[in-house]
Chain A
């Protein structure tokens, strides 16, 4: 499954919005099969922050672990956010 973040918006800031986004998408995660990869595509995102990112990516990482793969992460706010979240989680994201 690929999750296109731009479908949540192009300005992804605030914990509240991150939490709401995850809660809204959560039912779709049930379709994912046991060995299936979960790709998160950042294409089209303009502003990305640790508060939104933490609320959305942390539960995905917890649930899918090594099967979580991030794509199109070249935007500077995406890069800077992933770096700080890696420090917080003390682990690296798999980036394609």
Chain B
């Protein structure tokens, strides 16, 4: 018997949903998964009627209602603390860069939307997106250098990796110029069983869910 439900957008496009979904699965919550196809450019009526903020992901679990990806990560970490590093300073580092992801990189997100089924190498390299990419690369290089990889805080895939997993997906799709360090991290994230499962389930979504604006970007 499920203890709640997780409302997400379809897996091919919904980058924020991927974050919440990863956190929920990393924490092992037993929740029903409700997938609502995105319409692009704002929440659909179905999403608006199903979630308090009109956005996905949205989690209901044992009487708690949680929205916003970072809040979902924090909630999941209350149940499974190893989603954040055990060491205080390392945990502070992880939280800082997770929060930076949550609050920022808008230009990257706007220019290079997530589409797990397509590849658009070399496109949409706007100056603003390139500046965001440079910052993401710096964040990853610092974390990987400090904690030894293969994930940002070391050996375990945690909440901070969940926060950056959709960035990995964007980089795989849009293929900007990236350092080898970044590419190694991307390979580690892509190969993680949960990320691989999300990709597989995205590939199995009905064709009717495809959106022209994401499939044929200008």
Do these two chains interact?
no
Q: Report which A residues bind B (CB closer than 8 A).
A: none
List B residues at the A interface (Cβ < 8 Å): none
